[in-house]
Protein backbone atom coordinates (compact mmCIF):
# COMPACT_ATOMS: atom_id res chain seq x y z
CA UNK A 1 0.00 0.00 0.00
CA UNK A 2 1.52 3.37 -1.00
CA UNK A 3 2.32 5.83 1.76
CA UNK A 4 -0.11 8.75 2.02
CA UNK A 5 1.10 12.35 1.99
CA UNK A 6 0.32 14.52 5.04
CA UNK A 7 -2.48 17.02 4.55
CA UNK A 8 -0.32 19.66 6.20
CA UNK A 9 1.94 20.16 9.22
CA UNK A 10 0.19 19.02 12.40
CA UNK A 11 -0.65 21.63 15.00
CA UNK A 12 -2.26 20.79 18.37
CA UNK A 13 -4.13 23.39 20.40
CA UNK A 14 -4.71 22.36 24.01
CA UNK A 15 -7.96 23.88 25.16
CA UNK A 16 -9.02 23.90 28.84
CA UNK A 17 -7.31 22.36 31.83
CA UNK A 18 -6.41 18.95 30.47
CA UNK A 19 -3.15 20.23 29.00
CA UNK A 20 -1.23 17.33 30.55
CA UNK A 21 -3.21 14.95 28.35
CA UNK A 22 -2.56 17.03 25.22
CA UNK A 23 1.15 17.10 26.07
CA UNK A 24 1.20 13.29 26.35
CA UNK A 25 -0.45 13.02 22.92
CA UNK A 26 2.20 15.39 21.53
CA UNK A 27 5.05 13.32 22.97
CA UNK A 28 3.66 10.02 21.68
CA UNK A 29 3.09 11.52 18.23
CA UNK A 30 6.69 12.76 18.16
CA UNK A 31 8.04 9.33 19.15
CA UNK A 32 5.98 7.60 16.42
CA UNK A 33 7.20 9.98 13.75
CA UNK A 34 10.79 9.94 15.00
CA UNK A 35 10.90 6.18 14.38
CA UNK A 36 9.62 6.67 10.83
CA UNK A 37 12.14 9.44 10.26
CA UNK A 38 15.05 7.33 11.51
CA UNK A 39 14.12 4.35 9.34
CA UNK A 40 12.92 6.44 6.36
CA UNK A 41 9.80 4.26 6.43
CA UNK A 42 7.76 7.01 4.79
CA UNK A 43 8.85 9.04 1.71
CA UNK A 44 7.21 12.13 3.21
CA UNK A 45 9.20 12.22 6.46
CA UNK A 46 11.25 15.11 5.10
CA UNK A 47 8.19 17.25 4.41
CA UNK A 48 8.33 20.59 6.26
CA UNK A 49 6.74 20.21 9.69
CA UNK A 50 6.39 16.41 9.51
CA UNK A 51 8.74 15.82 12.44
CA UNK A 52 8.75 18.42 15.21
CA UNK A 53 9.61 17.97 18.85
CA UNK A 54 6.63 20.10 19.76
CA UNK A 55 3.40 20.10 17.77
CA UNK A 56 1.70 22.28 20.38
CA UNK A 57 0.66 25.69 19.03
CA UNK A 58 1.62 28.64 21.19
CA UNK A 59 -1.70 30.20 22.21
CA UNK A 60 -3.59 31.60 25.17
CA UNK A 61 -7.10 32.36 26.36
CA UNK A 62 -7.46 35.73 28.07
CA UNK A 63 -10.23 36.71 30.48
CA UNK A 64 -11.41 40.23 31.30
CA UNK A 65 -12.88 41.18 34.68
CA UNK A 66 -16.35 41.20 33.17
CA UNK A 67 -16.02 37.49 32.42
CA UNK A 68 -15.62 38.10 28.69
CA UNK A 69 -12.60 36.67 26.94
CA UNK A 70 -10.48 36.40 23.82
CA UNK A 71 -8.17 33.88 22.20
CA UNK A 72 -4.66 34.77 21.05
CA UNK A 73 -2.23 32.92 18.81
CA UNK A 74 1.49 33.17 19.50
CA UNK A 75 2.52 31.72 16.14
CA UNK A 76 1.16 31.26 12.64
CA UNK A 77 -1.13 28.35 11.84
CA UNK A 78 -1.38 29.08 8.13
CA UNK A 79 -1.39 25.87 6.12
CA UNK A 80 -1.50 23.69 9.25
CA UNK A 81 -3.70 20.69 9.94
CA UNK A 82 -4.99 21.82 13.33
CA UNK A 83 -6.37 19.51 16.02
CA UNK A 84 -8.09 21.22 18.95
CA UNK A 85 -8.25 18.95 22.01
CA UNK A 86 -10.96 20.16 24.33
CA UNK A 87 -12.55 19.08 27.61
CA UNK A 88 -15.79 20.88 28.35
CA UNK A 89 -16.14 19.11 31.73
CA UNK A 90 -12.91 20.47 33.27
CA UNK A 91 -13.84 22.02 36.62
CA UNK A 92 -10.47 23.03 38.05
CA UNK A 93 -10.25 26.41 36.30
CA UNK A 94 -11.68 29.58 37.79
CA UNK A 95 -12.27 33.05 36.38
CA UNK A 96 -12.50 36.32 38.26
CA UNK A 97 -15.75 38.13 37.50
CA UNK A 98 -16.16 41.53 39.14
CA UNK A 99 -13.84 40.48 41.96
CA UNK A 100 -15.47 37.08 42.56
CA UNK A 101 -13.95 33.72 41.60
CA UNK A 102 -16.21 31.44 39.59
CA UNK A 103 -15.60 27.92 38.24
CA UNK A 104 -15.63 27.52 34.47
CA UNK A 105 -18.83 25.81 33.34
CA UNK A 106 -19.21 23.69 30.17
CA UNK A 107 -20.89 26.75 28.60
CA UNK A 108 -17.77 28.82 29.31
CA UNK A 109 -15.51 26.14 27.82
CA UNK A 110 -17.68 25.87 24.72
CA UNK A 111 -17.68 29.63 24.22
CA UNK A 112 -13.86 29.56 24.39
CA UNK A 113 -13.79 26.72 21.85
CA UNK A 114 -15.77 28.91 19.45
CA UNK A 115 -13.21 31.68 20.00
CA UNK A 116 -10.38 29.32 19.07
CA UNK A 117 -12.08 28.06 15.93
CA UNK A 118 -13.13 31.52 14.73
CA UNK A 119 -9.53 32.70 15.17
CA UNK A 120 -7.87 29.92 13.16
CA UNK A 121 -10.56 29.36 10.50
CA UNK A 122 -9.46 30.75 7.18
CA UNK A 123 -5.82 30.47 8.20
CA UNK A 124 -5.39 26.82 9.08
CA UNK A 125 -5.69 24.46 6.14
CA UNK A 126 -8.04 22.19 8.09
CA UNK A 127 -9.56 22.25 11.58
CA UNK A 128 -10.50 19.12 13.53
CA UNK A 129 -11.94 19.07 17.03
CA UNK A 130 -11.30 16.22 19.48
CA UNK A 131 -14.12 16.55 22.02
CA UNK A 132 -14.11 13.26 23.97
CA UNK A 133 -17.11 14.17 26.13
CA UNK A 134 -19.58 15.80 23.76
CA UNK A 135 -21.03 19.13 24.84
CA UNK A 136 -24.77 18.86 25.62
CA UNK A 137 -24.69 15.19 24.64
CA UNK A 138 -27.60 14.43 26.97
CA UNK A 139 -29.87 16.87 25.11
CA UNK A 140 -29.49 15.08 21.80
CA UNK A 141 -33.22 14.67 21.25
CA UNK A 142 -36.47 16.41 22.12
CA UNK A 143 -38.97 14.78 24.44
CA UNK A 144 -41.39 17.56 23.56
CA UNK A 145 -41.54 20.52 21.18
CA UNK A 146 -40.91 22.91 24.08
CA UNK A 147 -37.37 21.61 24.79
CA UNK A 148 -34.08 22.86 23.37
CA UNK A 149 -31.99 20.73 21.02
CA UNK A 150 -28.57 21.91 22.16
CA UNK A 151 -26.30 19.14 20.89
CA UNK A 152 -27.52 19.45 17.30
CA UNK A 153 -27.26 23.25 17.45
CA UNK A 154 -23.68 22.97 18.74
CA UNK A 155 -22.59 20.59 15.97
CA UNK A 156 -24.16 22.77 13.29
CA UNK A 157 -22.39 25.83 14.69
CA UNK A 158 -19.00 24.08 14.55
CA UNK A 159 -19.66 23.01 10.97
CA UNK A 160 -20.63 26.55 9.95
CA UNK A 161 -17.38 27.84 11.47
CA UNK A 162 -15.37 25.50 9.23
CA UNK A 163 -14.66 22.44 11.39
CA UNK A 164 -13.95 19.52 9.05
CA UNK A 165 -13.80 16.62 11.51
CA UNK A 166 -15.01 16.06 15.04
CA UNK A 167 -13.94 13.11 17.18
CA UNK A 168 -16.26 12.10 20.04
CA UNK A 169 -15.65 9.10 22.28
CA UNK A 170 -18.56 6.83 23.25
CA UNK A 171 -21.36 9.40 22.83
CA UNK A 172 -24.58 8.99 24.78
CA UNK A 173 -26.39 8.55 21.43
CA UNK A 174 -24.51 8.32 18.12
CA UNK A 175 -27.56 9.55 16.21
CA UNK A 176 -26.24 13.06 16.83
CA UNK A 177 -24.36 12.55 13.54
CA UNK A 178 -27.65 13.18 11.74
CA UNK A 179 -27.42 16.87 12.72
CA UNK A 180 -24.41 17.47 10.43
CA UNK A 181 -24.39 14.83 7.68
CA UNK A 182 -21.68 16.64 5.66
CA UNK A 183 -19.16 17.01 8.52
CA UNK A 184 -16.65 14.26 9.20
CA UNK A 185 -17.63 12.66 12.48
CA UNK A 186 -16.12 9.60 14.17
CA UNK A 187 -17.04 7.90 17.44
CA UNK A 188 -14.06 5.84 18.65
CA UNK A 189 -14.83 3.29 21.34
CA UNK A 190 -12.91 3.16 24.60
CA UNK A 191 -13.76 -0.54 25.05
CA UNK A 192 -10.38 -1.98 24.04
CA UNK A 193 -8.34 0.12 26.44
CA UNK A 194 -10.91 -0.23 29.22
CA UNK A 195 -11.01 -4.03 28.94
CA UNK A 196 -7.22 -4.36 28.73
CA UNK A 197 -6.83 -2.06 31.77
CA UNK A 198 -9.39 -4.11 33.73
CA UNK A 199 -7.56 -7.36 32.98
CA UNK A 200 -4.14 -5.88 33.70
CA UNK A 201 -5.30 -4.39 37.01
CA UNK A 202 -7.37 -7.23 38.45
CA UNK A 203 -5.94 -10.74 38.08
CA UNK A 204 -9.08 -12.22 39.62
CA UNK A 205 -11.35 -11.26 36.71
CA UNK A 206 -12.14 -14.34 34.62
CA UNK A 207 -13.47 -14.09 31.07
CA UNK A 208 -15.71 -17.05 31.73
CA UNK A 209 -19.49 -17.03 31.21
CA UNK A 210 -19.94 -19.26 34.23
CA UNK A 211 -18.08 -16.88 36.53
CA UNK A 212 -18.60 -13.35 35.18
CA UNK A 213 -21.51 -11.30 33.84
CA UNK A 214 -21.86 -7.90 32.13
CA UNK A 215 -24.65 -5.67 33.46
CA UNK A 216 -26.20 -2.51 32.00
CA UNK A 217 -27.52 -0.28 34.82
CA UNK A 218 -30.49 0.87 32.71
CA UNK A 219 -32.24 0.13 29.44
CA UNK A 220 -30.81 3.20 27.67
CA UNK A 221 -27.32 1.66 27.77
CA UNK A 222 -28.35 -1.77 26.53
CA UNK A 223 -26.51 -1.42 23.20
CA UNK A 224 -23.29 -0.65 25.06
CA UNK A 225 -23.83 -3.66 27.30
CA UNK A 226 -24.52 -5.89 24.30
CA UNK A 227 -21.23 -4.80 22.69
CA UNK A 228 -19.16 -5.63 25.78
CA UNK A 229 -20.95 -8.91 26.51
CA UNK A 230 -20.72 -10.05 22.88
CA UNK A 231 -17.03 -9.21 22.58
CA UNK A 232 -16.17 -10.87 25.90
CA UNK A 233 -18.59 -13.79 25.34
CA UNK A 234 -20.25 -13.14 28.70
CA UNK A 235 -23.96 -13.18 29.64
CA UNK A 236 -25.74 -9.82 29.82
CA UNK A 237 -28.07 -8.55 32.52
CA UNK A 238 -30.16 -5.37 32.30
CA UNK A 239 -31.87 -3.21 34.91
CA UNK A 240 -35.20 -1.89 33.66
CA UNK A 241 -36.66 1.29 35.12
CA UNK A 242 -40.36 0.88 35.87
CA UNK A 243 -41.66 4.45 35.65
CA UNK A 244 -44.85 6.08 36.84
CA UNK A 245 -46.19 7.73 33.68
CA UNK A 246 -49.13 9.31 35.50
CA UNK A 247 -46.99 12.15 36.89
CA UNK A 248 -43.83 14.18 36.28
CA UNK A 249 -41.28 15.41 38.81
CA UNK A 250 -38.59 17.86 37.69
CA UNK A 251 -39.57 17.18 34.09
CA UNK A 252 -39.28 13.38 34.30
CA UNK A 253 -41.56 10.48 35.12
CA UNK A 254 -40.44 9.13 38.53
CA UNK A 255 -39.04 5.61 38.82
CA UNK A 256 -41.24 3.24 40.83
CA UNK A 257 -38.89 0.26 40.81
CA UNK A 258 -35.80 -1.23 39.17
CA UNK A 259 -36.31 -4.68 37.73
CA UNK A 260 -33.43 -6.96 36.81
CA UNK A 261 -33.59 -8.98 33.60
CA UNK A 262 -30.95 -11.66 33.31
CA UNK A 263 -29.44 -14.89 34.61
CA UNK A 264 -28.77 -15.66 38.25
CA UNK A 265 -25.89 -13.49 39.51
CA UNK A 266 -25.26 -15.46 42.70
CA UNK A 267 -21.52 -16.03 43.17
CA UNK A 268 -20.59 -14.26 39.93
CA UNK A 269 -18.28 -11.31 39.34
CA UNK A 270 -20.14 -8.40 37.74
CA UNK A 271 -18.86 -5.87 35.20
CA UNK A 272 -21.15 -2.82 35.17
CA UNK A 273 -20.89 -0.85 31.91
CA UNK A 274 -21.98 2.78 31.51
CA UNK A 275 -20.98 5.71 29.29
CA UNK A 276 -20.46 8.06 32.23
CA UNK A 277 -20.44 8.13 36.01
CA UNK A 278 -22.16 11.39 36.89
CA UNK A 279 -22.94 11.50 40.60
CA UNK A 280 -22.39 7.75 40.95
CA UNK A 281 -25.90 7.12 42.32
CA UNK A 282 -26.93 4.81 39.45
CA UNK A 283 -23.74 2.78 39.79
CA UNK A 284 -24.14 2.39 43.56
CA UNK A 285 -27.85 1.58 43.37
CA UNK A 286 -27.16 -1.09 40.73
CA UNK A 287 -24.29 -2.53 42.78
CA UNK A 288 -26.41 -2.67 45.91
CA UNK A 289 -29.22 -4.56 44.17
CA UNK A 290 -26.74 -6.99 42.63
CA UNK A 291 -25.13 -7.64 46.02
CA UNK A 292 -28.58 -8.37 47.43
CA UNK A 293 -28.89 -11.04 44.74
CA UNK A 294 -25.59 -12.63 45.80
CA UNK A 295 -23.11 -11.08 43.36
CA UNK A 296 -19.44 -11.51 44.21
CA UNK A 297 -17.01 -8.72 43.13
CA UNK A 298 -18.40 -5.75 41.21
CA UNK A 299 -16.28 -3.71 38.77
CA UNK A 300 -17.61 -0.45 37.34
CA UNK A 301 -16.34 0.54 33.88
CA UNK A 302 -17.09 3.89 32.28
CA UNK A 303 -15.57 6.12 29.62
CA UNK A 304 -16.02 9.24 31.73
CA UNK A 305 -15.87 9.65 35.49
CA UNK A 306 -17.40 13.00 36.47
CA UNK A 307 -18.14 12.32 40.18
CA UNK A 308 -20.21 15.48 40.52
CA UNK A 309 -21.28 14.66 44.09
CA UNK A 310 -17.79 14.05 45.39
CA UNK A 311 -16.42 10.77 46.72
CA UNK A 312 -17.92 10.27 50.17
CA UNK A 313 -20.62 7.78 49.14
CA UNK A 314 -18.25 5.87 46.85
CA UNK A 315 -15.57 5.69 49.58
CA UNK A 316 -18.21 4.25 51.90
CA UNK A 317 -19.37 1.72 49.29
CA UNK A 318 -15.79 0.60 48.69
CA UNK A 319 -15.04 0.21 52.40
CA UNK A 320 -18.20 -1.89 52.78
CA UNK A 321 -17.16 -4.14 49.89
CA UNK A 322 -20.04 -3.05 47.68
CA UNK A 323 -17.69 -2.34 44.75
CA UNK A 324 -14.25 -3.74 43.93
CA UNK A 325 -13.07 -0.92 41.71
CA UNK A 326 -13.92 1.81 39.19
CA UNK A 327 -12.13 2.23 35.85
CA UNK A 328 -12.46 5.39 33.72
CA UNK A 329 -10.39 7.02 30.97
CA UNK A 330 -8.11 10.06 31.20
CA UNK A 331 -9.88 11.74 28.27
CA UNK A 332 -11.29 14.34 30.67
CA UNK A 333 -9.89 16.12 33.71
CA UNK A 334 -9.50 14.02 36.85
CA UNK A 335 -8.71 15.69 40.13
CA UNK A 336 -5.61 14.69 42.13
CA UNK A 337 -8.00 13.53 44.87
CA UNK A 338 -9.65 11.08 42.46
CA UNK A 339 -6.34 9.78 41.14
CA UNK A 340 -5.26 9.03 44.71
CA UNK A 341 -8.31 6.85 45.46
CA UNK A 342 -7.54 3.17 46.05
CA UNK A 343 -10.68 2.11 44.20
CA UNK A 344 -9.92 4.17 41.04
CA UNK A 345 -7.90 3.12 37.98
CA UNK A 346 -7.01 5.46 35.11
CA UNK A 347 -7.19 4.26 31.49
CA UNK A 348 -4.42 5.90 29.45
CA UNK A 349 -5.89 7.02 26.12
CA UNK A 350 -2.99 9.18 24.89
CA UNK A 351 -1.60 6.56 22.45
CA UNK A 352 -5.06 6.05 20.97
CA UNK A 353 -5.63 9.78 20.35
CA UNK A 354 -2.11 10.19 18.93
CA UNK A 355 -2.77 7.37 16.47
CA UNK A 356 -6.05 9.00 15.39
CA UNK A 357 -4.31 12.34 14.77
CA UNK A 358 -1.47 10.65 12.90
CA UNK A 359 -3.93 8.78 10.67
CA UNK A 360 -6.25 11.71 9.98
CA UNK A 361 -3.28 13.86 9.02
CA UNK A 362 -2.63 11.62 6.00
CA UNK A 363 -6.36 10.97 5.36
CA UNK A 364 -5.91 7.34 6.31
CA UNK A 365 -8.96 5.31 7.28
CA UNK A 366 -9.46 5.06 11.04
CA UNK A 367 -12.21 2.46 10.71
CA UNK A 368 -10.24 -0.22 12.53
CA UNK A 369 -9.38 2.25 15.31
CA UNK A 370 -12.98 3.36 15.74
CA UNK A 371 -14.43 -0.16 15.50
CA UNK A 372 -12.14 -2.02 17.86
CA UNK A 373 -13.71 -5.46 17.53
CA UNK A 374 -10.68 -7.09 15.92
CA UNK A 375 -8.29 -5.73 18.54
CA UNK A 376 -10.56 -6.82 21.38
CA UNK A 377 -10.77 -10.33 19.89
CA UNK A 378 -6.97 -10.45 19.61
CA UNK A 379 -6.67 -9.18 23.18
CA UNK A 380 -8.94 -11.89 24.60
CA UNK A 381 -7.12 -14.56 22.58
CA UNK A 382 -3.88 -13.42 24.22
CA UNK A 383 -5.57 -13.45 27.64
CA UNK A 384 -6.39 -17.10 27.19
CA UNK A 385 -2.67 -17.69 26.61
CA UNK A 386 -1.76 -15.72 29.74
CA UNK A 387 -0.67 -12.52 28.00
CA UNK A 388 -2.13 -9.11 27.24
CA UNK A 389 -1.38 -6.92 24.22
CA UNK A 390 -1.89 -3.22 23.72
CA UNK A 391 -3.15 -1.57 20.55
CA UNK A 392 0.36 -1.35 19.11
CA UNK A 393 1.05 -5.04 19.49
CA UNK A 394 3.28 -4.79 22.56
CA UNK A 395 2.92 -7.84 24.82
CA UNK A 396 2.40 -7.21 28.52
CA UNK A 397 2.89 -10.21 30.80
CA UNK A 398 0.00 -10.62 33.19
pLDDT in tens, 193-228: 999 999 999 988 999 999 999 999 988 888 999 999
pLDDT higher than 90, residue 48: no
User: Any idea which of 174-178, 249-253, 333-337 has the lowest mean pLDDT?
Assistant: 249-253
What are phi and psi for residue 11, nearest 5 degrees? -135, 130
Give the C-alpha separation, 334 to 94, whole Å.
16
* 147 against 397, higher pLDDT: 147
In this prediction, residue 141 carries a pLDDT of 67
Give the C-alpha separation, 15 to 131, whole Å.
10
pLDDT higher than 80, residue 28: yes
- Confidence at 351, pLDDT banded by 50, 70, 90: very high
- Confidence at 398, pLDDT banded by 50, 70, 90: very low
Give the C-alpha separation, 282 to 365, whole Å.
37
Mean pLDDT of 78-97: 93
As beta bridge partners, residue 325 has: 299
Measured from the Cβ of residue 88, the count of other Cβ atoms closer than 10 Å reads: 24
Cα 269 versus chain centre, distance = 25
- Confidence at 2, pLDDT banded by 50, 70, 90: low
pLDDT higher than 50, residue 394: no
In this prediction, residue 135 carries a pLDDT of 93
Q: CA torsion, points 101, 20, 112, 109, in degrees to nearest 10?
A: -60
pLDDT higher than 80, residue 154: yes
In this prediction, residue 15 carries a pLDDT of 85
Which residues, other chains included, contact 259 with Cβ-Cβ below 8 Å and sequence gap of 6+?
239, 240, 242
Mean pLDDT of 69-82: 94
Give the C-alpha separation, 195 to 231, whole Å.
10
Model confidence over 262-309: pLDDT tens digits?
A: 999 999 999 999 999 999 988 999 999 999 999 999 999 999 999 999
In this prediction, residue 395 carries a pLDDT of 42
pLDDT higher than 60, residue 148: yes
Cα 264–Cα 266–Cα 267 angle in degrees, nearest 5: 135
Q: Is 32 within 8 Å of 351 (Cβ atoms)?
A: no
Measured from the Cβ of residue 329, the count of other Cβ atoms closer than 10 Å reads: 25
Helix (H, G, I), strand (E, B) or coil at 299: strand
pLDDT higher than 50, residue 1: no
pLDDT higher than 70, residue 140: no
Mean pLDDT of 244-270: 82
In this prediction, residue 371 carries a pLDDT of 80
pLDDT higher than 80, residue 390: no
pLDDT higher than 60, residue 180: yes
Model confidence over 325-338: pLDDT tens digits?
A: 999 999 999 999 99
In this prediction, residue 17 carries a pLDDT of 65
Mean pLDDT of 256-261: 84
In this prediction, residue 65 carries a pLDDT of 87
In this prediction, residue 373 carries a pLDDT of 85
Average model confidence (pLDDT) across the chain: 89
Amino acid sequence: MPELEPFGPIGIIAHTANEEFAESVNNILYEKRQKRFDTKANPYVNNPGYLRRNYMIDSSLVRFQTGEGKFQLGESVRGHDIFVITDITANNLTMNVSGLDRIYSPDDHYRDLLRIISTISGKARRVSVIMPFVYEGRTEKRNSSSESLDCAAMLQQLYELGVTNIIIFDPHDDRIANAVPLMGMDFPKCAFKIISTLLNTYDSVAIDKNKTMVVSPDESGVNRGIFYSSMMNLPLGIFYRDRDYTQKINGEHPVKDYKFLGDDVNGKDIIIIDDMINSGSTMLRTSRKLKEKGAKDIYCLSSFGLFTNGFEEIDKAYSEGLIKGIICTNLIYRSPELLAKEWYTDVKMGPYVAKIIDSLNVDESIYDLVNSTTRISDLLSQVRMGELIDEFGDIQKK
